[in-house]
């Protein structure tokens, strides 16, 4: 789709079309994912939005948006859950 600099890194933007799908009790509408890759083919940024409809017991559609930024490749990773973190169950 084009080129952009993200945090000083030159990237190429791609758009990926995902077809909709029907599952028992839910329909996922077709949606787009935008991905920005650096010259080494690593994902630098990704943006996706999904809309689910026909969910049993839910009148309104459910909209989910995810934006991911990746950087500091090769650096050590230290992950710690936030103090107010809680498990989610359905």
Q: Domain map of the chain by residue range?
A: 2-69
pTM of the model: 0.67
Asked whether residue 90 carries a pLDDT value surpassing 70, the answer given is: no
Asked whether residue 8 carries a pLDDT value surpassing 80, the answer given is: yes
Asked whether residue 7 carries a pLDDT value surpassing 70, the answer given is: yes
Mean pLDDT of the chain: 87
CB contact at 8 A, 16 and 47: no
CB contact at 8 A, 66 and 41: no
CA-to-CA separations, 16 to 6, 63, 70, 84, in angstroms, rounded: 19, 18, 18, 35
Q: Name the range with the highest mean pLDDT among 52-61, 62-71, 78-87.
A: 62-71
Q: Per-residue pLDDT tens for 27-58?
A: 888 888 999 999 999 999 999 988 888 777 77
Section 6-20 average pLDDT: 89
Question: What are φ and ψ of residue 70, in 5° steps?
Answer: -120, 140
The closest of 9, 12, 14, 13 to 73, measured between CA atoms, is: 9
């Amino acid at each position: 789709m084009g080129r952009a600099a993200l945090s000083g890194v030159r990237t190429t933007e791609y758009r990926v079309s995902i077809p909709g799908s029907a599952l028992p009790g839910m329909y996922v509408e077709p949606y787009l994912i935008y991905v920005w890759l650096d010259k080494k083919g690593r994902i630098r940024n990704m943006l996706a939005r999904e809309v689910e409809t026909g969910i049993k017991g839910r009148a309104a559609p459910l909209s989910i948006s995810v934006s991911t930024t990746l950087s500091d490749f090769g650096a050590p990773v230290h992950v710690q859950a936030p103090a107010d973190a809680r498990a989610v169950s359905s």
